[in-house]
Amino acid sequence: MPETMRAVDIKGDVGSAEALYITDIPKPHPKGAQALVRVKAFGINRADIMQRDGEYPAPPQAGRILGLEFAGVIETLGEDHETSFKIGDEAFGLVYGGAYAEYVVVSTHMLIHKPANLSWEECAGIPETWLTATKVMYQVGEFTPGKSILWHAGASGVSISGIQLAIANGASAVYATARSDAKCDFCVKTLGCTAAFKTTDPNWADEALKVTDGKGVDIIADLIGPAVFAGNLKIAARDARVVLIGLMSGFKLKEEVDMGLLAFKRIRYEGSTLRSRNESYQRKLKDSLVEHALPKFEAGLFKVYVEKVFPWEQVVDAHKFMESNTIMGKIICTIR
C-alpha cells in the first residue's frame, strides 16, 4: 500500500486562493478509535477561507491540511474503533482538519453511516453546517418549540440547515437576512422562512421589528458580526439569545452601539465555535443529529442544498466561488 497520498496544501502556509495546490504528503495511519477513510467528497467552508488567509488559527490536532467535513469509504481501522463500523463501510463525518486529501484519519466516534439515498456530495455537505446549526439552536440558543429565531446570511450552509431545523421543530417564526433579493426570495419561497430582510438596506432592523409587531426575535444566529451588531440589539426580544458564530463583516465594530439595549432587554450575547470544542462535545451533537435529523434526510424531509460541485483539481476555483458571496448552498469538491 502506498505510503503517500495527494492533498491540497498552501504555498507559503497562508495566502490567496491561488496559493492552494495539490501535492504528495505522507499518508496517515489510524490509531486507537480512529478510521482511515478514502475521501470521495469534501465540503468547502468559510473557516477554510479564513484559515488559508491566516485569520483562523487551527487547533493543534488539525494539522496543516484544510477541510472539516467529508464523505468516503473506510479503508482501515484502529484497534479500538467503534464496532458499528467495518472496513468498506460508506460514511461521512466531521474532522478538526485534513479533509482536503485522498485519505483522512477520523475518530469513529465522529463518523456517521452514509444513507443509501444520499449522494457523496450531499453527505459531505452535512457535518459542519448541520452540527453547527444544532449547536446554535440547542446548546447555546436554548431553543424550545414556540420560540422565534433569525438566521443571518440565510443562504449560507449553516443557516440553510438551521432554517430547516427550526421549521421542523416548532419555531413560532423563522426569519433570515441576506444581501440580495434573490437570496431573500430563496429563504422565503424555497426554505419556508416567515420573512427575510436585505441587510444592504440600512432599515433592515426596523423592518424586522415591524414584522414581529415590536416584540423582536428570541434567538439570533449571527454569522456576520460587526455590521449587524447594532441591528441585533434592536431586533432582540427581551431575554433573547444572540449567538455569534461568524465574522463575515470583519472583527471590529465600526459604528456607535446603544449598549443600553443589551442591559435593559437582558440579552445574552455569546460567541461560539464548533472546531475548538473537544470530541466529547462534538460527539453529543453528532449523536443528536443521527437520532433526530438523519431520519428526516432519509425520508426526504431535510435537504442538502448543493450550489456547485467541483473536481478537487479545481479547488482554487471552489475557494474563489465561496469568496464571491453569491452562493445559495454548499460548495463540494469530489475526488475521483
What pLDDT shows up at residue 120?
98
The secondary structure element, H or E, covering residue 227 is: helix 226-235
Backbone φ, ψ for residue 168 (5° rounding): -70, -25
Phi, psi at 14, each rounded to 5°: -135, 155
Q: Which of 61, 254, 21, 240 lies closest to 149, judged by CA?
A: 240
Going by pLDDT thresholds of 50, 70 and 90, the confidence category of residue 200 is: very high
The dihedrals phi and psi of 254, each to the nearest 5 degrees, come to: -120, 10
Q: What is the mean pLDDT of residues 27-52?
A: 96
Contact criterion met (CB below 8 Å) for 106 and 77? no
Residue 268 CA from chain centroid, whole number: 22
CB atoms within 10 A of CB 96: 21
57 band by pLDDT with thresholds 50, 70 and 90: confident
Structure confidence at residue 177 as a pLDDT band (50, 70, 90): very high
CA distance readout (Å), 2 to 25, 102, 324, 329: 11, 12, 38, 36
Per the DSSP assignment, residues forming a β-bridge with 69 are 94
Identify any residues that bridge with 150 across adjacent strands, giving them in sequence order. Answer: 175, 220
Least confident window among 58-67, 157-166, 185-194, 197-206: 58-67
What's residue 62's pLDDT? Answer: 87
* Chain-centre distance for alpha carbon 232: 21
Q: pLDDT, tens digit, for every residue of 272-309?
A: 988 889 899 999 999 999 998 999 999 999 999 999 99
What does the pLDDT look like over 131-176, one tens digit per residue?
999 999 999 999 999 999 999 999 999 999 999 999 999 999 999 9
Fold match flag (4-126+275-334 vs 132-271)? yes
Residue 95 has pLDDT above 90, yes or no: yes
Q: In sequence order, what are the residues at sequence separation of 6 or more whose Cβ sits closer than 8 angstroms to the Cβ of residue 20?
A: 8, 9, 10, 11, 52, 315, 316, 319
- DSSP-derived secondary structure for 270-296: EE--STTS-HHHHHHHHHHIIIIIHHH
3-state secondary structure of 93: strand
303 three-state secondary structure: coil
SS3 percent helix, strand, coil of the chain, rounded to 5, is 35, 25, 40
Instruction: Report CA dihedral (233, 237, 241, 247) to the nearest 10 degrees.
Output: -30
| CA–CA gap between residue 120 and residue 56 (Å, rounded) | 27
Question: Among 304, 159, 150, which residue's Cα sits nearest to residue 241?
Answer: 150
Nearest to 46 by CA among 334, 335, 318: 318
**pLDDT band per the 50, 70, 90 thresholds, residue 310:** very high
User: Which residue shows C-alpha cell 465594530?
Assistant: 253
Check residue 267 and give its pLDDT: 96
Q: Where is 226: in which H helix or E strand?
A: helix 226-235
Are 168 and 296 a contacting pair, CB within 8 Å? yes
Does CATH place domain 132-271 in 3.90.180.10? yes
pLDDT at 1: 63
Q: What is the mean pLDDT of the chain?
A: 95
Evaluate if residue 63 carries a pLDDT over 90. Answer: no
Q: Cα separations (Å) of 12 from 21, 50, 79, 96, 106?
A: 11, 15, 37, 21, 26
What is the C-alpha separation between 169 and 33, in angstroms, rounded?
33
Identify the pLDDT of residue 59. Answer: 85
**Domain-by-domain residue ranges, the chain?**
4-126+275-334, 132-271
How do 217-222 and 90-94 pair as beta strands?
A: unpaired
Asked if the 4-126+275-334 domain carries CATH number 1.10.10.200, the reply is no
Prediction pTM value: 0.93
